[in-house]
């Protein structure tokens, strides 16, 4: 049996369900089928979200349901990580205190507009809180919402083969369900939401060797909460993170009498210890090594009704990695299939719904605007996913590289969110914004502060030598006499961002921007978004050939076809390109010579 659809989604977890729900919501005519191997509700690890996901929940029309009290509200993160055991917080509610000079409560971060988050009809704290979820219930809500909007969902149905044509374009999938029935669905697009299994990934995945860890986790009943807010007993808390000798622990209340607890350690330590003790004994070793958590679970019970198969503990590999090609003709990866970043910042579940949401907007935009180049717009989606994940990855690397000094991580968070002095934040506020997901790219206040901390850690020359801040660019005549040093290859490419208004239409606002080719610079792509006319592409392409700004300005009018502006206008546009490339970290402007 061969069927035909507009899109097939492989996997009904948060990424696949979000894609299907949003795609169907804004285009009811689209024929969308989700193939999910298991039956919901089913268990999955990864319970904690961060506030930046709330925009997706509004679009899914699930925000009120998720925040109706069924899940524990997460007000921030408390860390014990540093030279002593003094706790320090990333309090999401502090984000509300950030104001513009005119008193309006807007998060004024370069490259991001958070106006739409401040919805007047919501309670004042809600846009900047998050939730800890029980995944069996959360995932079922999402897949049921996909059904509600009109997507066909087939549970108990596994995708078993990816089909391609002679040119290598993906054309559909074969499936088999748990009754023994089987068939094939042809579609011009297959969304791979199969998780780390990466059903359609062809085994082409890159890994971060310095973030190759294992997590051993279980669930407690009868355990005390670490953080309880007065007036919100068993309703709101902080996630608790603590470093220990051989790694770190999470402690996440996911219900009034249910706590998720896990220990993350290096692959080497994990394998060495399992030569001498079993998995549950190793878990208890790690938990009891933490003086802040051990007393909370002294009278608690490890339960056997949460994990599959009646297990009390489980081991999972937390190896940060990403698909080399998250998009190719007829194929798009979302969620963990596209990229997985170490769990230290609770970014995985948030990235899943974000990537599914952005992929759905891309799909809908191409159906609405067939004149757009599909390969370019899906390439813009891939750049978005790499950029978001790259920011988390950069911060996670810094976290592990500086586990002796919490202050160093605060500086890294300051580098993430404070590129040009537009936020007057202390270290704690900047760190809070970073852990909440409100940052477009890692940048620094000053190279003098950051250089000693970054040396040897982030791995790119530009992170030390080309960090933009308010006074970081030559001005006026000095700019025109400056030297140009290219830090990474980049080009003028299509980008898309959801329209910012209270009544979204499911479509991307499409424009051209400067985008880096190197994954190490992907986290900079969203910095200082700029709209550059496609006619200026020859100037962007020629830029690396010029040693000085003056030489480029002289040649610029002759680089583009006639009729695109007077010579002085072309030169002004060229200066704007140079400034934006420098702010993104793609070039350095030094001088005058």
For residues 464 and 461, give the distance between their C-alpha atoms in angstroms, rounded to a whole number.
6
Nearest Cα to 266, choosing from 317, 212, 316?
A: 212
263-299 residues labelled b (16+ CB within 10 A) or e (exposed): bbbeeebbeebeeeeebeebbbbbbebbebbeebbee
For residues 390 and 227, give the distance between their C-alpha atoms in angstroms, rounded to a whole number.
31
Cα angle 431-433-439, degrees, rounded to a multiple of 5? 110
For residues 261 and 221, give the distance between their C-alpha atoms in angstroms, rounded to a whole number.
11
How high is the mean pLDDT of the chain?
Answer: 81
pLDDT per residue as tens digits for the range 59-70: 999 999 999 999
Residue 593 has pLDDT above 60, yes or no: no
Q: What does the pLDDT read at residue 478?
A: 81
Residue 105 has pLDDT above 60, yes or no: no
Name all domains of the chain by residue range, CATH numbers in brackets.
2-71+133-204+324-373 (3.50.50.60), 207-319 (3.30.9.100)
The 3-class SS string of 246-262 reads: CEEEEEEEEECCEEEEE
pLDDT per residue as tens digits for the range 365-377: 999 999 999 999 9
Q: Which residue has the tokens 């190896």?
A: 319
Residue 405 has pLDDT above 90, yes or no: no
* Distant-in-sequence, close-in-space partners of 465: CB < 8 Å, separation ≥ 6: 447, 487, 588
* Distant-in-sequence, close-in-space partners of 413: CB < 8 Å, separation ≥ 6: 395, 427, 430, 431, 432, 433, 434, 435, 439
SS3 237: strand
Cα→Cα distances 462→158, 388, 397, 466, Å? 45, 19, 16, 5
pLDDT per residue as tens digits for the range 307-354: 999 999 999 987 777 788 899 999 999 999 998 887 877 888 999 999
Choose the most confident range, by mean pLDDT, from 464-478, 515-529, 547-561: 547-561
With bands split at pLDDT 50, 70 and 90, how would you rate the model's confidence at 460? very low
With bands split at pLDDT 50, 70 and 90, how would you rate the model's confidence at 83? low
Q: Which residue has the tokens 């969203």?
A: 526
């Amino acid at each position: 049996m061969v069927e035909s659809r507009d899109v097939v989604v492989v996997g009904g977890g948060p990424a696949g369900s979000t894609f299907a729900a949003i795609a169907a919501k804004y285009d009811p005519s689209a024929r969308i089928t989700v193939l999910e191997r298991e039956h919901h509700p089913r268990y999955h690890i990864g319970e904690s979200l961060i506030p930046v996901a709330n925009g997706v929940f509004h679009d899914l029309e699930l925000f009120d349901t998720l925040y109706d009290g069924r899940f524990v509200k997460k007000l921030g993160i408390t860390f014990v990580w540093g030279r002593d055991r003094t706790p320090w917080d990333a309090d999401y509610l502090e984000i509300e205190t950030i104001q513009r000079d005119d008193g309006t409560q807007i998060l004024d971060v370069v490259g991001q507009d958070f106006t739409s988050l401040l919805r007047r009809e919501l309670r004042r704290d809600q846009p900047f809180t998050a939730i800890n979820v029980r995944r069996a219930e959360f995932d079922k809500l999402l897949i049921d919402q996909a059904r509600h909007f009109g997507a066909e969902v087939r549970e108990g149905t596994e995708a078993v083969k990816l089909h391609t044509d002679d040119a290598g374009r993906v054309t559909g999938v074969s499936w088999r369900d748990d009754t023994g029935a089987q068939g094939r669905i042809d579609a011009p697009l297959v969304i791979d939401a199969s998780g780390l299994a990466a059903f359609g990934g062809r085994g082409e995945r890159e890994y971060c060797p310095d973030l190759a860890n294992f997590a051993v986790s279980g669930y407690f009943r009868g355990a005390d909460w670490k953080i309880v807010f007065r007036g919100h007993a068993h309703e709101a808390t902080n996630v608790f993170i603590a470093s220990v000798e051989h790694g770190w622990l999470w402690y996440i209340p996911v219900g009034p009498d249910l706590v998720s607890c896990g220990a993350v350690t290096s692959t080497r330590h994990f394998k060495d210890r399992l030569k001498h003790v079993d998995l549950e004994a190793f878990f208890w070793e790690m938990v009891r090594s933490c003086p802040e958590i051990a007393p909370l679970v002294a009278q608690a019970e490890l339960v056997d009704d949460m994990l599959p198969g009646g297990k009390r503990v489980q081991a999972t590999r937390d190896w940060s990695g990403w698909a080399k090609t998250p998009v190719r003709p007829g194929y798009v990866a979302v969620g963990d299939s596209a990229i997985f970043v170490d769990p230290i910042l609770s970014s995985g579940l948030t990235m899943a719904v974000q990537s599914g949401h952005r992929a759905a907007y891309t799909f809908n935009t191409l159906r609405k605007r067939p004149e757009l180049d599909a390969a370019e717009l899906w390439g813009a989606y891939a750049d978005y996913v790499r950029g978001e994940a790259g920011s988390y990855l950069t911060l996670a690397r810094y976290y592990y590289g500086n586990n002796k000094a919490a202050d160093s991580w605060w500086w890294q968070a300051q580098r993430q969110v404070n590129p040009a002095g537009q936020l007057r934040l202390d270290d704690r506020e900047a760190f809070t914004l970073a852990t909440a997901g409100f940052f477009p790219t890692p940048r620094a206040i000053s190279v003098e502060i950051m250089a000693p901390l970054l040396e040897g850690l982030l791995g790119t020359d530009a992170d030390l030598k080309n960090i933009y801040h308010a006074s970081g660019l030559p001005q006026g005549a000095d700019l025109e006499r400056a030297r140009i040093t290219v830090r990474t290859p980049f080009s003028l490419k299509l980008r898309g961002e959801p329209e910012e208004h209270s009544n979204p239409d499911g479509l991307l606002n499409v424009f051209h921007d400067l985008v880096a080719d190197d994954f190490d610079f992907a986290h900079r792509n969203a910095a200082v978004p700029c709209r550059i006319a496609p006619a200026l592409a020859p100037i962007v392409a020629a830029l690396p050939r010029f040693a000085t700004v003056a030489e480029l300005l002289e040649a610029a009018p002759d680089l583009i076809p006639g009729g695109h502006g007077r010579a002085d206008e072309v030169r002004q546009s060229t200066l704007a390109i140079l400034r934006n490339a420098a702010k993104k970290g793609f070039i350095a402007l030094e001088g005058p010579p």
